Amino acid sequence: MTATLTPARSRTGSRAESGQLTGTVAMVRLALRRDRIKLPIWLIAITALVPRFYYAAVSAVVPTPEALANASQMIRASFMRVLAGPLFGDVTTRSYFLAAYWVEFLLAAAIMNMLLVTRHTRAEEQTGRAELIRAAAVGRQAQLAAALIVSLIGNAVLALLTAAATISIGFPVGSGLLFGASLAAAGLVFAGVTAVTAQVTELTRGAGGLAGIVLVAAWLLRGAGAMQGQEGGPLFWLSPIGWSQQTRVLAGERWWPLGLSAVLAGLLIAGAYSLASRRDLGASLVTPRPGPASAPSWLRSPFALALRLQQGSIVGWGAAFLAIGLVLGAMTGGMEQTDLPIFSADADFGRAWISLMVFTGSLYTGVFAVLAVIRLRTEEVRGRVAPVLAGPTGRSTWYWSSLLVTALAVAALLAVYGAALGAGAALSTGDPGFVGEVTRASLLRVPEALVLLALPAALLGLAPRAMSVAWAVLVYSGFIQILAPNLGLPGWLTNTSVLSHIPWHPLGSFAPVATVVLTVLAAVLATLGLYGLRRRDLVTG
Amino acid sequence: MTSAIAVSGLVKAYGPARALDGLDLTVNTGEVHGFLGPNGAGKSTTIRVLLGMVRATSGSARLLGGDPWADAVALHRRLAYVPGDVELWPNLTGGEAIDVLGRLRGGLDGRRRNELIERFELDPRKKARTYSKGNRQKVALVAALSADVELLILDEPTSGLDPLMEAVFQQVVGEAKAAGRTILLSSHILSEVETLADRITIIRDGKAVESGTLAQLRHLTRTTVAADTATPVTGLERLPGIHDAKVEGASVRFGVDAEHLDAAIRHLTRFGITSLVSHPPTLEELMLRHYERKEAA
């Protein structure tokens, strides 16, 4: 060392120089700075849903005691318990609010944490930013620790905000805090799950996808457990989402089920650390196999390229649809017979349940379609479209090829989902007629999904910065349609939902006018998108 | 302590593939060391081992007298790193990113930082998502070069920089060297390191194939000469140290060993040189020469 150099000294002098966690505080600050917009939006959005849902529930059940009784009876029906409930204790507007929407809050908290943890762990490694960070005086475990600390902070704030919101709608203070804590607990468990999956796969999407599979499994277990009994059977107790609900807010409250969540989160985090300390930066437990050295002979047109680029996502969604369809279909046989006004059009409850599930499949297919089109924008922004368009491929060919692949995938996914749902129903009821009937019912919903596909496509051309509006429309349409029957919404309001025009019961009803109108609307929106795309500047690199 | 980096017999295996296969590399304190090799030779893997991001399968590596894996954090306070492909946080400005990277290392020299931002003509107020590749590279360079460290590890640091900025980079690295810093400069372009490097190590397939001063390496190889002459050149093949001579009318092109360059040019002048171009051996030629010698042996 020469005299001209003054060696840099640690600012955190007392800390062990080679600590695995050195730099964690700075990493937390960096993460909070990066998330200064994203995290508050998540927290405020989830909190705002409390009064939003509560007043929706109030308007549904306050008018008359009969309305409250009817709504509660519906939520207690076995097939609704899969999605909502359980309804603990006495029926009031507040307990109804919890029964109807608690699961949604728990899912939202889980997803917030999954995105947060992948964003600050695997995504950093995949982009190579982690390499810049780790070349500084930052310990090997500091990034993971920082991600988990930020998640802890986010969950604590979420607990306090949602507690305040529930207290503002009339919950006792203790109940509000317990409700908030139940969301934070589910959030922490899924932060832990994602911390583990981030060690397992090399790509961010893989880490998020694996955590998503765990979330769906937890949700399905909770649903299956809910069918086992009014207040949740043994399977309910196998799901972290179930633990949060077993705190029985407003009806015999108890904090101890959250202890299960804390223990599981602790174990998962310990597991993630142990895995992380065994691997190289950027490496993963599952190493990707080498791919083919040359392109297959079919990969020679813009359409084939679009298919190749979307192939992984289509196959993944198809597998998920197959599994979820089978599981949901298999629940048909166990449905209890309940007298419910909203399903009076259906002869039996099995078919009422299937109708609801076919509709849910359409909603998920909408999610797939919106994601697929938003990915086109990502392709453009990352500069991956420019080399294609610099060749003899025109904008309109690129655009239609990409949309056609997604449209065909939408139809295929609905067919797979319908067939799986029908097969599950046929197996559990012994009625083979379900397979064809449910597949047909599912395919009848293709025009809806096409509109949900064409809307972001229109935005891609006309207002690419506003593509997330497509999410808002999807969520709005889903809510309106799910709420419509028990809110008694006026017809004009219901009609503003994309998902309200193809009837969902009786099973397999065909509405020719709606089918034609939706298909034409999709075509018009998609054409408008091309109109915009041909006139605007492309973003390159 | 005379060697800042001492690597011997380093192996890094990914399954059956060996990214490093018994690499030796010594970088003396205070020198600029060019680390050359074609794409995929193992330069970046070596650097990742030195930075403690990847654990070597076998062999030994010492960095500033410490163990790059076990002492990573302590060592990283004494070095700065610039990767060849810089990714930044899209919603932070370039200036913020420079400060974050500097502070994580234990602080940077603010005056030096601002001076470098000016010299590299970087706008630090722009969000990183709007930066071109060259500008992202400048952010990492400013953060690294304004740090008060003993060792700079630069992995193809000028990719994406225009020639003017490359000149600024060369000046700044020269200043760092004058200030006594040790610099490991990896590249696949010989011309980039030849003006700066005291010594060079060439690697291929995870092994060092040559190591020494540029003059020593050049001595092993040959210069390419292309000339136009008034009358066709004859008798070239009788001269010693001439290779691959091609005469086409008034044009001649040949390779010549360094010690025979003088004689070859004297010979050409007899035919009336109208234009003369000569260029030093490229990295590829150094590599080819290496393999020729190996086959001959």
A310-335 pLDDT tens trace: 988 999 999 999 998 998 888 787 66
Is the pLDDT at A369 greater than 60, yes or no? yes
What's the angle, vertex CA B247, arms to CA B245 and CA B251, rounded to 5? 120
Q: What is the mean pLDDT of residues A444-468?
A: 94
Chosen from B76, B151, B182 to mutate, greatest number of chain A CBs within 10 A: B76
DSSP reduced 3-state for A52: helix
| pLDDT score recorded for residue B292 | 66
Looking at beta carbons, which residues of chain B come within 8 Å of A128? 83, 85-87
Would you call A390 an interface residue with chain B, using a CB distance cutoff of 8 Å? Answer: no
Whole-model pTM over 0.80: no
| Residue A349, pLDDT above cutoff 90 | no
CA distance B53 to A134: 7
Interface contacts A/B by beta carbons within 8 Å: 124
Is the reported ipTM for this assembly greater than 0.85? no
Closest Cα in chain A, distance from residue B101 (Å): 7
Q: What is the 3-state secondary structure (H, E, C) of A320-383?
A: HHHHHHHHHHHCHHHCCCCCCHHHCCCCCHHHHHHHHHHHHHHHHHHHHHHHHHHHHHHHHHCC
- Model pLDDT, residue A60: 64
Q: B275's torsion region: left (phi>0), alpha (psi -120 to 50) or beta?
A: beta
What is the rounded CA–CA span in Å between residue A85 and residue A103?
8
Nearest-CA residue of chain A relative to B56?
A: A280
pLDDT (0 to 100) of residue A81: 80
pLDDT band at residue A214, thresholds of 50, 70 and 90?
very high
Mean pLDDT for B127-134 is 88
Q: Please name every residue paired with B62 in a beta bridge, in sequence order, or none if there are none.
A: B6
Q: Does residue A367 contact residue A313 with C-beta atoms inside 8 Å? A: no
Q: When comparing pLDDT for A347 and B74, which is higher?
A: B74
Query: What mean pLDDT, rounded, does chain A reach?
Result: 86
User: Mean pLDDT over residues B29-39, rounded?
Assistant: 91
pLDDT at residue A525 is higher than 50 = yes
State which residue of chain B sits closest to A128, comparing Cα positions: B87
Sequential DSSP letters for B1-16: --EEEEEEEEEEEETT
Q: Are A349 and A335 in contact (CB under 8 A)?
A: yes
pLDDT-based confidence at A10, cuts 50/70/90?
very low
List, for residues B95-115, the tens digit of each pLDDT value: 998 998 888 887 888 999 999
Q: With an 8 Å Cβ cutoff, are A136 and B104 in contact? A: yes
Closest Cα of chain B to A537: distance in Å? 16
Diameter of chain B by CA atoms?
68
In this model, does residue B211 exceed pLDDT 50? yes
Whole-number percent of chain B with pLDDT over 90: 48
Q: Containing H/E element for A165?
A: helix A142-168
- For range A451-465, the mean pLDDT: 95
Of B70, B76, B91, the CB nearest to A34: B91
Query: Given pLDDT bands bounded at 50, 70 and 90, which one contains residue A483?
Result: low
Q: How far apart are CA A165 and CA A181, in angstroms?
A: 13
Q: How close, in Å, is residue A213 to chain B by CA atoms? A: 28
pLDDT of the residue at A262: 97
Our CA angle for A367, A372, A377, nearest 5°, is 125
Which of B1, B73, B107 is closest, CB to CB, to A138? B73
Tens-place pLDDT, residues B48-73: 899 888 889 999 999 999 999 888 88
- Cα separation, B209 vs A224, in Å, equals 65
Residue-wise pLDDT tens digits, A82-111: 778 788 888 888 888 898 889 999 999 999
Between A415 and B289, where is the model more confident? A415
Contacts 24+ apart (CB under 8 A), A532-537: A532/A458, A532/A460, A532/A461, A532/A462, A532/A463, A533/A395, A533/A396, A533/A399, A533/A460, A533/A461, A534/A395, A534/A396, A534/A461, A535/A461, A536/A461, A536/A464
The residue behind tokens 């479209």 is A385
Whether the bond between A86 and the residue before it is cis, its omega within 30 degrees of 0, is yes
Picking from A122, A69, A118, the residue whose alpha carbon sits closest to that of residue A95 is: A69
From A16's Cα to the closest Cα of chain B, the distance in A is 9
Binned at pLDDT 50, 70 and 90, residue B145 comes out as very high
Rounded (10°) CA dihedral A74, A78, A83, A89: 70
pLDDT greater at residue B8 or residue A503: B8
Pairing of strands B222-229, B273-279: antiparallel
| Mean pLDDT on B130-159 | 92
Residue of A nearest to B102 (CA): A136
Tell me which amino acid residue A334 is. Answer: G
Give the residue-averaged pLDDT of A140-166. Answer: 96
CB < 8 Å & 24+ apart, contacts of A398-401: A398/A302, A398/A306, A399/A457, A399/A461, A399/A529, A399/A530, A399/A533, A400/A530, A401/A301, A401/A302, A401/A303, A401/A305, A401/A306
Region B182-188: mean pLDDT is: 92
The Cα of A540 is separated from the nearest Cα of chain B by a number of Å equal to 10
Does A22 contact B at CB distance below 8 Å? yes
Residue A144 token pair? 């993971």
> Crossing angle for the helix pair A93-120 and A173-200, nearest 10 degrees?
30
- Residue A298 banded pLDDT, cuts 50, 70, 90: confident
Q: What are phi and psi of B25, to 5 degrees?
A: -155, 125
Cβ atoms within 10 Å, residue A529:
24
> Which residues lie closer than 8 Å to A76 by C-beta, 6 or more apart?
A85, A87, A230, A338
Average pLDDT over residues B114-124: 94
